[in-house]
Amino acid sequence: MRCFVLLLAVLAISQSHALTRIPLHKGKSLRNTLKEHGLLEDFLRTHQSEFTEKGFGTGIVASEPLTNYLDSEYFGTIYIGTPPQEFTVVFDTGSSELWVPSVYCNSRVCQKHHRFDPSKSFTFQNLSKPLFVQYGTGRVQGFLGYDTVTVSDITVTHQTVGLSTQEPGDIFVFSPFDGILGLSYPSLASKYSVPIFDNMMNRHLVAEDLFSVYMNRNDQGSMLTLGAIDQSYFVGSLHWVPVTVQGYWQFTVDRITINDEVVACQGGCPAFLDTGTALLAGPGGDILNIQQAIGAVQGHYGLFKVNCWSLGMMPTIVFEIHGRKFPLPPSAYINQEPGSCTSGFKFGSQMWILGDVFIREFYSVFDRANNRIGTLLILHASLNVISSEKVPVIPKPQE
């Protein structure tokens, strides 16, 4: 009887971990907001020398291009402190820091967002170490502290949190998010920071050392799941891709083809999945080949425009990754807005960055235990996929 009770307790704990979901809300991108306010050209002119290239943390400085968040559309809610203070963040697999504005930042940027007040949290401890996140032409500055952070039903005590006292320019004034929660490897963080998912793993707060992301095109319904894979989105089998460098979630793309002809990534190239970047970024020559193949021409604001009437004649672009083909139809890589259509590909990175354009088509599993990525074709694309041995799976809801 005692063993039976113990088994039930273990199963209950495992199930509670497996059901950790964080809804992601799709909002208006910062690019569109700046455009509406007539500020986009000034921003792009100011940041024209800043590439999409991301950099590793060096000492106390974590490096992150500001333009990566220009098109971010997916945000979630976390709570910091005791009692909890609420923040909207980008869950970013392309960085590793957790930071939010503090009440000690009095600029217009910070005043437009939620600001953390350490004096109102009795669990806050000042780490007495500086926060520097480099953004190409500016940096977020502040200080680091420890506090309790709650993400869905997971509470992480003594978590490193960056609190900004200065943010670069006015760019973040119109941003729909307060801060960033990084989900990449520790090597991208400053030397005083421990990424929050690392603490979740080390303290056994998740059933398995992985998380998974589902994004859709609607305002609601996107989801980040911690410690499990959510079977309700898929059928089929998971395709595992090994992580090649433990910094970003980096892997190798074999080639990129159109009608079986290689148009980019000849001979293989490095890439990584980035939930903090909306578009698909790559080397200039590769991107230009693709833009020409789909009939895109240079437009305003650094984007390439296409004729909305020609979508039905555009080709499917295929990413071949670790022996499997991942097709992107025009409906995936063309952004359709009233009166205009733009390409989801952009210049600016020596390494391919596969952002939300890719992730919306392919459910993505980030497996830290085995240093691999699972890529799965989403049901809404009329394709299949999912599941894996030794990975807890959330059962499909009852009809």
The set of catalytic residues is: 92, 274
Token reading at 127: 């780490």
Question: Tell me, what amino acid is at 126?
Answer: N
Long-range contacts of residues 257-263, Cβ cutoff 8 Å, at least 24 apart? 257/317, 257/318, 257/320, 258/290, 258/293, 258/315, 258/316, 258/317, 258/318, 259/315, 263/289, 263/290, 263/293, 263/317
* Distances from the Cα of 198 to the Cα of 236, 294, 300, 376, angstroms: 30, 41, 41, 24
How many whole angstroms separate alpha carbon 220 and alpha carbon 121?
Answer: 31
Identify residue 154 by its one-letter amino acid code.
Answer: I
Residue 327 token pair: 């097709």
| DSSP-assigned states of every residue in 160-211 | EEEEEEE-STTGGGG-S-SEEEE-S-GGGS-TT---HHHHHHHTT-SSSSEE
Helix (H) or strand (E) holding 399: none
Using alpha carbons, select from 396, 391, 366, 367 the residue that is nearest to residue 379: 396
Question: Cβ–Cβ contacts within 10 Å for residue 307, how many?
Answer: 12
CA nearest to 249, candidates 337, 366, 332, 137: 366
Q: What are phi and psi of 154, to 5 degrees?
A: -105, 125
Q: Give the three-class secondary structure for 45.
A: helix
Q: Which residues contact 317 (CB under 8 A, 6 or more apart)?
A: 256, 257, 258, 263, 290, 294, 327, 328, 333
Give the 3-state secondary structure of 3-44.
Answer: HHHHHHHHHHHHHHHHCEEEEEEECCCHHHHHHHCCCHHHHH
Give me 128's structure tokens. 């007495």
